[in-house]
Structure 1
Amino acid sequence: MSVHARAALVATVVLVAAPLVGVPAADAAEQRTDAGIAAVMELKQHLTPVEQKQSMSFVIEKHLRADAGLRTTLPRFKTSAKPDAIAVDVQVTAVTPAVQAAIRDAGGTVKYVSTRLRTIEATLPLAGIDTVAGRADVRMVKASAKAVTDKADPPPATLFEGDKAHGADAARTLYGVNGANTKICVLSNGIDSLAAAQAAGQLPKDIDVLPGQEGVQDEGTAMLEIVHSVAPAAKLGFATAFNGEASYADNIRALRHTAHCTVIVDDAAYLDESPFQDGPVAQSVIDVTNDGALYFTSAGNNGNTADGTAGHWEGDFTDSGKTIAGTFGTAHDFAPGSAVQTLEPVSKGSLGDVAILSWSDPSGGAKNDFDLYVLDPAGNVVAVGADKQDGGQDPIEGVTLPGTDDAQYAHNAPYFLAVVRYAGKDKRYLSLSVNRGRFVDSDNVKAYTTPGAIYGHAGVPAAISVAAAPAATALGPLEPGDPTGPTGPYPGTFGPGSRWERFTSDGPRHVFYNPDGTPITRGNVTSTGGTTRPKPDITAADGVNTTVPNFQPFFGTSAAAPYAAAIAGLLLSAKPNATPAQVRQAIVSSAVDIGPAGFDTVTGYGIVMAGPALQAIGATPVAP
């Protein structure tokens, strides 16, 4: 099937083993592809010292605006939607008033400052990026990574409650626990409806919100309602995860060290969190768990191989032997012997579908340089992740795929992805993920995916990552005629026949570096090196009702994580002196196994259940 014939597969993207493999050498699409990628690599070879300290997307856009010839070569390159207010991370040698003033003088706005991480979250006009990057105290001006929560789009369903599905309502009565003497704190996007929920009596009045960290939108309010429904006497706290990655990492620590939270739960991840090394957010999780906190996080909604819903591939770089225009780079071969792989996005939200490429160099020390290209069916380069890596940068590239809601590009689906090694000879392991997308072959039949969609701080061993199972599979049929009925030992609770959500992310997580960048297996950072972390840990309910608009019902691992955290609060209420290890062991040892026998990489140890977990930790039933 030709590239143009595949265009009939609406809303698909093709992973290219080598630039447009299977297309005749003289095909005009291949010529446009070679010319576009060659133009980007030509720019990359002649970066000025100031441009070397910027994301390549800024450099390309600046040259596109000044060079008519480049616009002819890259006619469909996707430029910034807001060139006068581009979100950036300014990495500095030290945070000073002078560098903040320089950002403002360049027409920018300072959003958040992390002295600890020497990072300033800001917006800058495209015209001001050179000015800021040219300062001696600025190490890098990068495009800000996008943050995502793990709320899923709900299918048509009756509203069901997770409190009953987990048996928490009965357990509170049997053991006389309610979350007292614990403080459970949430990290998400925002709490816009907090005051309304408090006025309605759905949440207590004394929630501890970190100053200036209220955030925007409402997922945090919905998560707080879930926690409060299960552990009504627990103190509550909140901080946003959406003021930038540095702010997220700082807020995790502040919730423990300043707000003194006993249990912390989040549902957010930044797309540039490394799959292969614990970064700033992951290191904050390690810090607070070392200090005695229990930490729960959503496993993610990026799909799994068991259900054929994953949009994740990882494996060793395979040299296809094909170069760009006979000169530049070497294309990676995703499936030797197979012409192409295709990606079919599952959802297209306002953020678009984001592809992230990582490889097994240490963070801040990438000596190999891989690039990621998005091509339209005509062979035009429409998006690029091609930052310079020469020893001091992060081993990651990201691109936003034009969505079906983008009028300029919608008619051009499918798109093509190509990975090119621009520089470096070392053997490296690659990870390519598409946010909530799916890889299938050219006939849309067989998936070319690998396990391991869980990444970033959800892969930290001390964090308890939570998969999702719809509460409806415990409480009764999803709709009239649905054969699924109550499956637990008592009607209305989860049981061995309950099922997990098809979108929940799978593990394990392959890691190659310690947090400080030292290799786990020196000299081997390929598929046979490093270490593998079993993930996720447990499963909890989603598809539940809240009073928050747009969370009626609330689907996704974003809903599951606060249920697990709240049940941990019940255990600590019963046994205040229990260690985090004891709470964790009680939860996993008593979980209801719903997948393959024992631990599995989709549901972990199974669904956490309040009563059995309280029994496992040694709680004493109260007198009737």
Structure 2
Amino acid sequence: MRTRLLTGLVTASLLAACSTSPQVQTPAPEASAPTVDVPTDATVPQPTAPAGDVNALLLAKTSKLSSALSAVAAAGSTVQGLGAATAATADGGDVRLGSRRLLNAAAGRVTVDALPTGTPEDLLASLQGLGLTAGSTYAGLVSGVLPVSALTAAAALPELRSMRLAVATTNQLHGQAFQVPSQGLTISQGDVAQRSDIARQKYRVSGAGVTVGALSDSYNCAKKPLTTAPDDIRNGDLPKGGVQVIEEIDAESCQAGASDEGRGMLQIIHDVAPAAKLSFATAFSGQAGFANNILRLADAGADVIVDDVSYFAEPYFQDGVVAQAVDRVARQGVSYFSSAGNQARQSYEGAYRPSGQTFNGCELNDFNAGSSVDTLQSITIAPGADVLIFLQWDQPFASVSRAGRGSASDVDLLLFDDKGKLLVTDERTGQFPVSADDNVDGDPVEAVQYINYTKAPIKVNLAMTLCSGPEPKVLKWIDYGSGANVEYDTKSPTSFGHHNAVGGAGVGAARFYRTPAFGQTPPLLEAFSSAGGIPILYDLNGRRLATPEQRQQPRFTAPDGANTTFFGQLTFGDGTPIDGDAFPNFFGTSAAAPHAAGVAALMLDGVTQYGGASRPADIYRALGATAVDMKTTGFDADSGAGLIQADKAIERIISTTP
């Protein structure tokens, strides 16, 4: 069957981010995106034997390293990755483009998440002995940056249970007025779209006395940016007193080049709450490092924290280490905002159905719920595009806690060509079609990537196999690439992990000029904005909940597509300026989340001046209760409560009894 390719930015590298550029200047209705036509076979292809020595090694399941890390360790080389590519939608709206990599070795190093056989501290010490930097532990997980040359030695450590790539993305798609501090060379148009300009004037609030912390890739590492951090401070686009940097991205990645997306977020916050103090910490040192830096920002005085990062292996059905850190600081009184993600509904989920057919000694899943059997799910990849698919199933993660249960089943994820032949692994060019990790007592996650380097669409076939253990009741994958024409597509939710944390607020995106302040009523949700609705099935000890917990995330929507001095894109795909000025425009839920965080700073300033409630739950409730409905009346899983209105939220919060 054919599917909508909902568009937006996905960056799927360890240490690099890319952007999404709109292709038309005038607003257009959200429409079904294009499908990509390829020839279809009259008969359903059948999986055939593995191709290549590397595939045979991976399918043997003899290494503690994930399949991708095993391929790199065996070859002693790194991935080249994918250059920029574009694919326009039917309405001429957004495009998906950029470099998507399951693996990106910066200066011969990779960011990893590892599970210990004993204590996390013992494994951390052993990995540090092999050259691990930026290392940390949280719950049952060890993270850090490891030399590629040390992978083989790491695999031999008795302290190691398993190790995988820590694959992360930022969710960027590439009278007299009340006097406040200088707001620099440019001001985000989202300030008007969410009415925070009105809020500052009406309530004389500016974020004074409030500290906002941001987590992203980097702060001041970008190569030859339009402006640097010192420029931004000098020009007034960041506070005169500068930004407190708790931790910058690791030195090797900084030298290799990072995007400074965190600085772009901080500019937005400064536009909205110009008197607030700002702080920054990288989230790109693995999940444990991310979680610990959330705590460090709170310990350094942050009243509000915002991030725009997703780790693809964060649990779908359980609160992982990052979500636990979010909940911890929320209990301390810190309001936490996170980009909901840019995957729209690019997700499949369904029960495991035995097919009676095997591959590599494992039984293939049957995708067809009817009487016939279909063990392959076809997906089309456009020229220059890719699929990057992370699969999880409804079993607990060992990494969630030190003594929690792990996966009871071992499931593999594989990609075949249009004839049913297993695609060849090539770590040099980023082709990872085999994911055959040993999941039992570990984490229930597998990942594959395949890039179309040709000039014509290609069709690949995805297969899931059960190698041991009970049959999963839910198999769910999310595509962080741009697969089209997904067979058996279920268009399921994609906002997960800490974006779904009970103590935080996931934030969807609406382009600033598609809001009431710019003549669009009701406001329109960005087509790429991730949908919520993934249930929590397990507690932190890996015990299945009697009743699945459904959380109302994303909580609300905020503007994106607005100006910064250096971050984003200057023009549409046809070269037309986006908004007629000389400043880049920042798209994605990565831009929406800091807009909401800035409003929270204004709200806390208002509570200090006028009284009211200031707990995170009160902040979220006020923002949601005063939001402008978008898709439906009240809450919906795509836009949450709707587009936030800063002035109305402040009015609500200062009238709320503490």
Bin of the TM-score, shorter chain as denominator length: 0.7 to 0.9
Hey, what does 2:597 align to over in structure 1? 565
What's the counterpart of residue 73 of structure 1?
none
Q: Is the 8 A contact 1:347 1:436 kept in 2?
A: no
**Which residue of structure 2 lines up, in the alignment, with residue 531 of structure 1?**
549
- State the AA in 2 paired with 1:561: A
Query: Which of 488, 500, 508 does residue 459 from structure 1 map onto?
Result: 500
Aligned counterparts of 2:201 and 2:339: Cα–Cα separation in 1: 28
Query: Hey, what does 2:28 align to over in structure 1?
Result: none
Contact 2:380 2:457 in 1 (8 A): no
Secondary structure at the residue paired with 2:602? helix
> Which amino acid letter does the alignment assign opposite residue 341 of structure 2?
G
- Paired with 1:459 and 1:247, the residues of 2 have a C-alpha distance of 19
CA distance in 2, matches of 1:401, 1:344: 11
Change (3 A) 1:495 1:122: same
SS of equivalent residue, structure 2 residue 50: helix
* Distance (Å, rounded) in 2 between the aligned partners of 1:347 and 1:277: 36
Taking the TM superposition and a 5 Å limit, the aligned residue runs for 1:376-391 are 376-378=417-419, 379-382=421-424, 383-390=433-440
User: 1:210–1:238: 8 Å Cα contact kept in structure 2?
Assistant: yes
Note closer, same or farther for the CA distance 1:435–1:47 as it changes in structure 2 (3 Å cut): closer
* Residues 62-101 of structure 1, C-alpha deviations (whole Å, 9 max, x = no match): 6789xxxxxxxxxxxx998869645433444456799757
Residues 536 and 89 of structure 1: is their aligned pair in 2 closer, same or farther, counting only changes over 3 Å?
Answer: closer
Among 433, 450, 470, the residue aligned to 1:425: 470
The answer as to whether partners of 2:113 and 2:143 remain within 8 angstroms in 1 is yes
Structure 1 stretches lacking a partner, 5+ long: 2-8, 15-19, 66-77, 154-158, 304-309, 475-487, 522-528
- Partners in 2 of 1:448 and 1:102 — Cα distance? 41
1:282–1:457: 8 Å Cα contact kept in structure 2? Answer: yes
- Aligned-residue offset at 1:344: 4.8
Report the counterpart of residue 458 of structure 2 in structure 1: 413
1:35 matched to 2:49? The reply is yes
Once structures 1 and 2 are overlaid, which stretch shifts more, 56-65 or 546-555?
A: 56-65
Q: Which amino acid aligns with 2:159?
A: D
Which of 430, 440, 446 lines up with 1:397 in the alignment? Answer: 446
Specify the SS of the correspondent of 1:440: coil
The count of residues paired between Structure 1 and Structure 2 equals 535
Native 8 Å contact 2:408 2:470 kept in 1: no
1:125 aligns with 2:151: no
In 2, Cα distance between the equivalents of 1:539 and 1:147? 22
Measured in 1, the distance between the counterparts of 2:215 and 2:629 equals 28
Give the aligned residue type for 2:553. K
- For the pair 1:138 / 2:160, whether they are aligned, the reply is yes
Aligned residue for 1:374, secondary structure, equals strand
CA offset at residue 335 of structure 1? 5.2
Among residues 131, 149, 153, which one is paired with 2:170 in the alignment? Answer: 149
Q: Is the 8 A contact 2:247 2:280 kept in 1?
A: no
Residue 356 of structure 1, aligned match among 390, 413, 426: 390
Paired residues of 2:387 and 2:479 also in contact (CA < 8 A): yes
Q: 1:346 to 1:282 in 2, by over 3 A?
A: farther
Give the aligned partner of residue 55 of structure 1.
66
Q: Distance in 2 between matches of 1:541 and 1:212?
A: 27
CA contact (8 A) 1:358 1:397 kept: yes
| In 2, Cα distance between equivalents of 1:129 and 1:400 | 20
Contact 1:509–1:534 at 8 Å: present in 2 too?
Answer: no
1:557 deviates by: 0.6
Relative to structure 1, is the Cα distance of residues 422 and 200 closer, same or farther in structure 2, using a 3 angstrom cutoff? same
Q: TM-score, normalised by structure 1?
A: 0.77
Measured after TM superposition, the shift of residue 122 of structure 1 is: 2.9
Please name the residue that 2:585 is paired with: 553
Match of 1:256 among 286, 293, 298: 298
Over the matched positions of the two proteins, sequence identity in percent amounts to 30
Give the Cα–Cα distance (whole angstroms) in 2 for the partners of residues 302 and 80 of structure 1.
Answer: 20
Question: Is the counterpart of residue 187 in structure 1 residue 215 in structure 2?
Answer: yes
Alignment of 1:29-178 (within 5 A): 30=46, 33-36=47-50, 47-48=61-62, 51=63, 53-59=64-70, 85-92=109-116, 93-94=118-119, 109-117=131-139, 119-125=142-148, 128-140=150-162, 142-153=163-174, 161-178=189-206
Per the TM alignment, residue 182 of structure 1 is displaced from its structure 2 partner at its CA by 1.0
Q: 1:549-569: CA deviations, max 9, x gaps?
A: 435111111111111111111
- The residue number in structure 2 matching 1:615 is 651
Q: Kindly provide the CA deviation profile for residues 293-349 of structure 1, in whole angstroms up to 9, marking residues without a partner as x.
A: 10000111101xxxxxx3101222122332227x53223315546966543568968
Whether 1:470 aligns to 2:511 is yes
SS at match of 1:34: coil
Report if aligned partners of 1:103, 1:132 keep a CA contact under 8 Å in 2. no
| Residue 56 of structure 1: how far off its partner (Å) | 3.2
- 1:384 Cα deviation from its structure 2 partner: 0.9
Residues 435 and 361 of structure 1, relative CA distance in 2, 3 Å threshold: same
Q: Does 1:502 align with 2:523?
A: no
Which string of whole-angstrom CA distances, capped at 9 and with x for unpartnered residues, describes residues 492-544 of structure 1?
A: 357642211111111112221112322112xxxxxxx6232222110010110
1:220-619 alignment, distance < 5 Å: 220-257=262-299, 259-303=300-344, 310-324=345-359, 327-333=361-367, 336=370, 341-344=377-380, 353-364=387-398, 365-378=406-419, 379-382=421-424, 383-390=433-440, 392-402=441-451, 404=452, 406=453, 413-441=458-486, 448-474=489-515, 488=516, 492=517, 496-521=521-546, 530-551=548-569, 552-576=584-608, 578-618=614-654
Taking the aligned partners of 2:282 and 2:614, their CA distance within structure 1 comes to 29
Change (3 A) 1:110 1:387: same
Alpha carbons of structure 1 residues 90 and 436: separation in structure 2 relative to 1, 3 Å: closer
Alignment RMSD, CA only? 3.5
Supply the AA of the counterpart residue of 2:365.
A
Q: Residues 38 and 315 from structure 1, CA distance in 2 versus in 1: closer, same or farther, beyond 3 angstroms?
A: farther
Letter matched to residue 363 of structure 1: F
3-state SS of the aligned residue for 1:497?
coil
Tell me the SS of whatever aligns to 2:530. Answer: coil
Q: Distance in 2 between matches of 1:166 and 1:79?
A: 36
- Residues 265 and 562 in structure 1, CA contact (< 8 A), matched pair in contact too: yes
Whether the 8 Å contact between 1:150 and 1:268 is mirrored in structure 2 is: yes
Indicate if the aligned counterparts of 1:355 and 1:400 stay in contact, CA closer than 8 A: yes
Q: 1:415 to 1:41 in 2, by over 3 A?
A: closer
* 8 Å contact kept, 1:312–1:439: no
Equivalents in 2 of 1:334, 1:510: separation in Å?
24
Q: Retained in 2: the 8 A contact 1:161–1:545?
A: yes
Specify the alignment match of 2:235 in structure 1: 200
* Shift in CA distance, 300/13, structure 1 to aligned 2, threshold 3 Å: farther
What amino acid does structure 2 have at the position aligned with 1:384?
V
**How far apart are 1:586 and its partner, in Å?**
1.2
TM superposition score normalised by structure 2: 0.74
In the alignment, the residues of structure 2 paired with residue 45 and residue 261 of structure 1 have an alpha-carbon distance, to the nearest angstrom, of 47
In structure 2, the gaps of 5 or more residues are: 2-33, 77-100, 175-186, 221-227, 399-405, 425-432, 570-583
Larger radius of gyration between Structure 1 and Structure 2 = 1
CA distance in 2, matches of 1:389, 1:240: 29
Partners of 1:300 and 1:462 in 2: CA distance: 17
In 1, Cα distance between equivalents of 2:352 and 2:501:
25
- AA partner of residue 385 (structure 1): S
* Secondary structure at the counterpart of residue 197 of structure 2: helix
Map Cα deviations across residues 562-621 of structure 1 (whole Å, 9 max, x no partner): 11111111111010352222222211111111111111111111111011111112369x
**d(CA) in 2 for partners of 1:384, 1:329:** 16
Q: Is the 8 A contact 1:151 1:557 kept in 2?
A: yes
SS for the counterpart of 1:469 is strand
Q: Is the 8 A contact 1:213 1:240 kept in 2?
A: yes
Q: Deviations over 1:94-150 (max 9, x none)?
A: 567997576665xxx422111445624233336x4332222223333x232211011
Taking the aligned partners of 2:620 and 2:234, their CA distance within structure 1 comes to 35
- Give the secondary-structure state (helix, strand or coil) at the position aligned to 2:636: coil
Secondary structure of residue in 1 paired with 2:585: coil
1:5 aligned partner: none
Whole-angstrom distance in 2 between the partners of 1:119 and 1:278: 17
Cα deviation code 1:444-492 (max 9, x no counterpart): xxx8223311111101122111111111113xxxxxxxxxxxxx3xxx3
